[in-house]
Amino acid sequence: MKTIRVGLLGLGTVGGGTLDILQNTLPEIQCRLGQTIEVTIIAVRDLNRARSVDTTGIQMTDNTQDVVTDPDVDVVIELMGGTTLAKELLETAIKNGKHVVTANKALIAEFGNELFSLAEQHNVIIAYEAAVAGGIPVIKAVREGLAANKIEWIAGIINGTGNYILTEMKKPGADFAQVLSVAQELGYAEADPTFDVEGIDAAHKLTILASIAFGIELQFNKVYTEGISKVTAEDIRFASQLGYEIKHLGIAKRSEEGFSLRVHPTLIPKEVLIANVNGVMNAVMAYGNHVGPTMYYGPGAGAGPTASSVVADVIDVIRAQHQPKEDRVPALGFKADQMQTAPVLDIDAIDSAYYIRCFAKDHTGVLAKVTALLAQSNINIEHLHQEPCKQNRDDATLVMITDETKESNLNQALIALQALDEIVGDVMRIRVDSLGA
């Protein structure tokens, strides 16, 4: 039985999970593959650190170049993270004729266009299933399983930390700061949670999903990104009363004008399945013109789930390595010469319905003034709710759901609304999406 030799960059949580699978599930893998896989070299930062996995018989090094230049290594697995050293190492591996498997969403989203081009030149494969949604095989599902469809939109809960926080904020007495602290204690959130709660992590993943869904180049710098730190428990309560859940979504849609790529809190109708995805779980919906709406659900992080996708990619690479280039599944689902440099719309150009929450002085005629102001911008109110403000009984809380309108129209209306003497504090705006409901 032929042996495929693998070099591993990084032996952290996912790296350890990957080695564990390759050691303990090898008989099953051999039956699927007809070949065996051996990890022969691993690069780590600290050679003296205790390991939770057995590294007996494996060459350990603190020199990452040893892995990517080793002539006996067939496949390099990159699980280090970051975009500087990781990029340099993958370029070296590719130039040395080695196939690459990575879980590095930032690297793919920001530098994937050039890395895939380099891999094409050197006739090697870059596989990256684990870069999006952990253990959910969503890359293969969208890129290959939906290949018969023109995908109209794709949307997902693709960051478990943000989803956990919004789920926990539904509990009585919870607020953002308190729940974030608990998430950090449980290891769901980093000490610096910016990438998760401000949507950067999700934006990296959405960049990749949009590319494979629409056949457009990776354009991370054009993704509109908004976090969840301004969402309050009151917003979650009001949304629920109106029949919605608030989720931190990545949404990519095609239109006649171009494509919208955006990450932001979103009100979703409760009857939509993805609205009921809670805790640290991930889910992705894709709408194809023939199949309609589909959804993919599962754990988006963790040693076992993410390593499962890593090893599946290794198996795929081994199966495909001897195929002619033109017969392989393209890295982003479309032939390289067919990828579009398509326009990505500014957020002001999108159409959406909106949730608006503000505090107003509880005086006669204030509600009429607010609704008239919105009407002047051709914004219709679909639902309106008013109740006394908990913080100040002299004020009222106004909550509105608008019909769909252009974001630029709403922005003008909110500026005028904020300028009213009767409005107290900041006006909150959250986009609403039915996701086909």
- The pLDDT, as a whole number, for residue 424 is 87
> Taking a C-beta distance cutoff of 8 angstroms, is the pair 286, 146 a contact?
yes
Tokens of 51: 């390991």
Q: Give CA–CA dist 391/288, Å, rounded.
A: 46
The pLDDT profile of the chain, 437 residues, written as one tens digit per residue, is 899 999 999 999 999 999 999 999 999 999 999 999 999 999 999 999 989 899 999 999 999 999 999 999 999 999 999 999 999 999 999 999 999 999 999 999 999 999 999 999 999 999 999 999 999 999 999 999 999 999 999 999 999 999 999 999 999 889 999 999 999 998 888 889 999 999 999 999 999 999 999 999 999 999 999 999 999 999 999 999 999 999 999 999 999 999 999 999 999 999 999 999 999 999 999 999 999 999 999 999 999 999 999 999 999 999 999 999 899 999 999 999 898 888 999 999 999 999 999 988 877 778 888 888 899 989 999 999 888 777 666 788 899 999 999 999 999 999 999 999 888 889 999 999 999 86
Q: Which of 205, 335, 369, 406 is catalytic?
A: 205
Known catalytic membership, residue 98:
no
Q: Which position has the token pair 């196939």?
A: 99
- Closest to 240 (Cα-Cα) out of 381, 407, 380, 385: 385
Tokens of 162: 């943000």
- Closest to 293 (Cα-Cα) out of 163, 158, 431, 149: 149
- The pLDDT, as a whole number, for residue 393 is 64
Tokens of 192: 């610096």
Tokens of 409: 């129209």
Count the neighbouring beta carbons within 10 Å of the beta carbon of residue 3.
Answer: 11
> Taking a C-beta distance cutoff of 8 angstroms, is the pair 94, 115 a contact?
yes
Tokens of 292: 């309609």
Radius of gyration of the chain, Cα coordinates, nearest whole angstrom: 24
Tokens of 184: 């950090």
DSSP states along 314-358: HHHHHHHTTS-GGGSPPTTSS-GGG-B---B--GGG-EEEEEEEE
- The pLDDT, as a whole number, for residue 340 is 82
Side by side, the strands of the sheet bearing 3-9 are 59-61, 36-43, 3-9, 75-78, 99-102, 126-127
Domains belonging to the chain, first-starting first, are 3-135+304-338 (3.40.50.720), 144-297 (3.30.360.10), 347-432 (3.30.70.260)
- The pLDDT, as a whole number, for residue 389 is 72
- The pLDDT, as a whole number, for residue 341 is 82
* Helix/strand/coil (H/E/C) assignment for every residue in 360-411: EECCCCHHHHHHHHHHHCCCCEEEEEEEECCCCCCEEEEEEEECCEEHHHHH
